[in-house]
Amino acid sequence: MDPNNSTIIINAYILTMDEHLNAYPNGYVKITDGLIEAVGQDFQGSPEQYENLLDAKGGIVIPGMINCHTHAAMSLFRGLGDDEPDRLYRYIYPLEKEYVTPEFVRLGSELSCAEMLLSGTTFFADMYFFEEEVAMAAEQIGIRVLAGQTVMNRPLPDADHFEDGIKRAEEFCRGWKDSSLVEPCIAPHAPYSLERNQLIQIMEFSKEHQTDVQMHVAESEREEKFISQLGETSSVSYLNSLNLLNERLLASHCIRINEADIQLLEEHDCRVSHNPVANTKGAHGTCPLYELLEQKIIVGLGTDGPMSGNNLDLFRQMAVAAPLQKNLKGDRTLIDSKQILSLATLRGAEAIGKGGSTGSIETGKWADLVVFDSESVRHTPLHDPYSTVVYSLQASDVKDVFVSGKQVVENGILVNSDLNQITNKARQFISKWPNL
Amino acid sequence: MDPNNSTIIINAYILTMDEHLNAYPNGYVKITDGLIEAVGQDFQGSPEQYENLLDAKGGIVIPGMINCHTHAAMSLFRGLGDDEPDRLYRYIYPLEKEYVTPEFVRLGSELSCAEMLLSGTTFFADMYFFEEEVAMAAEQIGIRVLAGQTVMNRPLPDADHFEDGIKRAEEFCRGWKDSSLVEPCIAPHAPYSLERNQLIQIMEFSKEHQTDVQMHVAESEREEKFISQLGETSSVSYLNSLNLLNERLLASHCIRINEADIQLLEEHDCRVSHNPVANTKGAHGTCPLYELLEQKIIVGLGTDGPMSGNNLDLFRQMAVAAPLQKNLKGDRTLIDSKQILSLATLRGAEAIGKGGSTGSIETGKWADLVVFDSESVRHTPLHDPYSTVVYSLQASDVKDVFVSGKQVVENGILVNSDLNQITNKARQFISKWPNL
């Protein structure tokens, strides 16, 4: 019998993040067979009937957070080329060509999965090469992933040309369709790095295999120029002309979009990943998050790869997302912390197509939960728990994490993997490289 | 005999942050009688001759960081009124009138001093009321403070009118002038909250008592309007007309400044605290940091009070400072992580007038040091240690902290105070308040 079959968490300040933002200051969550059985205020029964009891000691409990955009394996490149001008073409592509192997992807993903779980992320959307290595790393450590096998119209570390990449993606999506933690999908890199007919092929792939499509959309000035040279007005309208705008599309970045683009994204039920830390550092501009939210477009938060954002920390995304909009518009009242925590939880789950299963603490959903350390200096004092999570707490304030009711982080320590082993392997692996 | 009389730190990746940015990948620091005796590469002697040996295990070591602007005691208000429109006048002032007592300042300062030391800040510049309570909290926990007794032209929690405030400030500056950790000074709130003759009086106070002057300068639209109603063109030029621009002035914020203002700040050797997280959240605009640095103006980083920035974390300031400038200018190459770490260390020390004593790891300076946990997931891998500190590491990655050679944080635990006692006292204190 599974030792984690039933668990009760008591004495918790529960932010359910459901549509009504129900919250229970002296709350409890009952977990049975990996699902949330009940959530409420003032537990009355006897905790002994549950196999596991967790006393949150007044700590805030939120749903497991969702990282809607990353390239997990790139943690092995973290800190390289922060300030390079033509970074993607002259720096990253050559690095990847040289160093990205299955082992690279495995070790980098293990490092990133560890960082994400330890910081309260229970589900991440990934785009990279050798995506089966990402999937295996995720399964081993116990984190969920929407794993996107990347395809591009250029030689890649795992495919010599586009058709090879499509074959890889097919194999990957077939091979992983029954995993409980891994949802496979396809990840066309961007509107500018694939041909028109290739993008159409992606759309057909998505329909045939019933997979999501993760793509970088409207990220850079370079992309804007390319699109305008095609005679198109914007990346979004170009994708629309190819029938790629639909409820399966998770469009990352969406920085350089206009009112008409926002309208198109809304009409076609597209979902957006907003990645404010990496976007700002990359000097790409500021995504019109306020306008996207006004149009009720589903937006989640993402870190982008750890070579762009330098860590995989959703707390940092939450802390800057509203301030960047406030500052841009000169209005400090815009977008409160409830709305921001929603982006990191329920809206994020919707953005990766899993709003029915996770993203909020509700009966029948997967028991994906994060418990904070009530004794942290940043948890003190507690006037507004939403503000505390969004603006004060940090990765290290995460104490316990559950995925499908199984505890995967216990008192700040990974349950299924040895962190020192993971970091040592990563260090040893890069020690063979020359100075980069 | 002082047990901390001599210490050697070995096996450290030392970023000295001196003017030449000397760094020692397999470095050591020798500490004797609270001062740095030597720093270098590949320690050869026998560590036994030192009373204390710390093996950094490859962890990065930096100078203790400097928080150039905060109101530490306001941690007890953390999370209140994040999105209030007329926040200062309609929200904060009434709150302070009601709740700010010596006990409030003591407990809030203890909480903030704990947060700062644990996150690698060894010196902070503070502006508040009952500043002797801040000073006592700092001495007890073992952190340095440039403690500014605030004066304004309105009834304050600790002074009924301006003249009372000046008397308090005099007493405070006299009483604390011989402390080894506390440097007392005067803190006129802002150009718009004092009369012209009062500002002149401040200038005379500073000369007579040889103290620094901490002031909010060019922060808000409201301030701009007030200054223009005085018939002045800017806060900076107004202060110049009153002879308040000099090397004793630590001007916080400096968001709304023009080219002529920057020129004036440079000509008069003024120092600036840049507080990007709080400024962005407050929708005040973006300080022209790039231009200030181009003009070689001394700039340090600050968190602002924990009711504005919601924590006292210089890592978050470092992580956003360059990105905000890059994004504003559309140029990802601007301001590298070496420059940003300088702001948090040597430039910060210069900004609070202590560049000769701290802010870099150099022979003869105070042994104010921070040792990072080399086993942290965010410390891995280590391609560029400056980028690692600025963009990847977080408060919780600080392992050991020394102030004047005395260890004040050991393996992430405060040495001189009990954190649980501090957070419990804070919680109990606010539990008496109604819901705010």
Beta-carbon separation of A387 and B82 below 8 A: yes
Q: How far is A41 from chain B (nearest CA, A)?
A: 19
- Opening angle at CA A25, ends A20 and A29, nearest 5: 75
Which part of chain B has CATH 2.30.40.10?
A: 6-63+361-414
For A289, the 3-state DSSP assignment is helix
Beta-carbon separation of B380 and A329 below 8 A: no
Confidence of residue B5 (pLDDT cuts 50, 70, 90): confident
pLDDT in the model for residue B1: 37
Q: Tell me whether residue B226 is exposed, middle or buried, using C-beta atoms within 10 angstroms of its C-beta: 0 to 12, 13 to 18, 19 or more.
A: middle
Span A68-88, pLDDT tens digits: 999 999 999 999 999 998 888
Using alpha carbons, list the distances in angstroms from residue B26 to A157, B337, B361: 35, 21, 15
Give the predicted TM-score (pTM) of the model: 0.97
Which part of chain A has CATH 3.20.20.140?
A: 65-351
The minimal CB distance from A396 to the residues B323, B375, B396 is found for: B396
pLDDT in the model for residue B3: 46
**Closest listed residue to residue B130, CA positions, set B167, B92, B157:** B157
Beta-carbon separation of B333 and A84 below 8 A: yes
**Residue B400 contacts residue A355 (beta carbons within 8 Å):** no
**Residue A395 contacts residue A118 (beta carbons within 8 Å):** yes
Chain CA centroid to CA A333, Å: 27
Looking at CATH, the fold of the domain delimited by A6-63+357-414 is given as: Urease, subunit C; domain 1 (2.30.40)
How many angstroms separate the CA atoms of A330 and B255, rounded?
13
Beta-carbon separation of B313 and A394 below 8 A: yes
φ/ψ of residue A28, rounded to 5: -140, 155
Contacts of A70 (CB under 8 A, 6+ apart): A112, A124, A125, A126, A127, A302, A303, A304, A305, A306, A312
Which part of chain A has CATH 2.30.40.10?
A: 6-63+357-414
How many angstroms separate the CA atoms of B12 and A283, rounded?
33
Touching check for B25 and chain A: CB below 8 Å?
no
Confidence of residue B434 (pLDDT cuts 50, 70, 90): confident
Strand partners, A15: A23
Beta-carbon separation of B280 and A323 below 8 A: yes
φ/ψ of residue A237, rounded to 5: -70, -30
Span B143-164, pLDDT tens digits: 999 999 999 999 999 999 999 9
Which of B280, B313, B324 is the best substitution to test chain A (most A C-beta atoms within 10 A)? B280
Q: Which of A 335-364 lie inside 8 A of B, CB atoms?
A: 335-337
Touching check for A296 and chain B: CB below 8 Å?
no
Strand partners, B273: B252, B300
Q: How far is A332 from chain B (nearest CA, A)?
A: 5
Span B306-324, pLDDT tens digits: 999 999 999 999 999 999 9
Using alpha carbons, list the distances in angstroms from residue B269 to A302, B246, B248, B350: 42, 6, 8, 11
The minimal CB distance from B384 to the residues A75, A79, A280 is found for: A79
Span A37-57, pLDDT tens digits: 999 999 998 888 899 999 999
How many angstroms separate the CA atoms of A334 and B281, rounded?
10
Thinking of the domain B6-63+361-414, which architecture would CATH place it in?
A: Roll (2.30)
Q: Tell me whether residue B432 is exposed, middle or buried, using C-beta atoms within 10 angstroms of its C-beta: 0 to 12, 13 to 18, 19 or more.
A: exposed
Q: Across residues B219-248, what is the average pLDDT?
A: 96
Touching check for A324 and chain B: CB below 8 Å?
yes
Strand (E) or helix (H) holding B427: helix B419-431
Chain CA centroid to CA B423, Å: 22
| Cα radius of gyration (chain B) | 21
Strand (E) or helix (H) holding B103: helix B102-118
Touching check for A116 and chain B: CB below 8 Å?
no
Q: Is pLDDT of B166 > 80?
A: yes
- Opening angle at CA A220, ends A216 and A225, nearest 5: 110
List the beta strands (DSSP E) in A275-380.
Answer: 298-301, 369-372
Beta-carbon separation of A327 and B395 below 8 A: no
- Opening angle at CA A74, ends B379 and A164, nearest 5: 165
Q: Tell me whether residue A47 is exposed, middle or buried, using C-beta atoms within 10 angstroms of its C-beta: 0 to 12, 13 to 18, 19 or more.
A: middle
For residue B326, the chain A residue with the least C-alpha distance is A283
Beta-carbon separation of A320 and B322 below 8 A: no
When the pLDDT of each residue in chain A is averaged and rounded to a whole number, the result is 96
pLDDT in the model for residue B2: 52
Query: What is the CATH class of B65-351?
Result: alpha beta
Confidence of residue B45 (pLDDT cuts 50, 70, 90): confident
Share of chain B above pLDDT 70, in %: 99
How many angstroms separate the CA atoms of B61 and B55, rounded?
11
Touching check for B79 and chain A: CB below 8 Å?
yes
Q: How far is B9 from chain A (nearest CA, A)?
A: 22
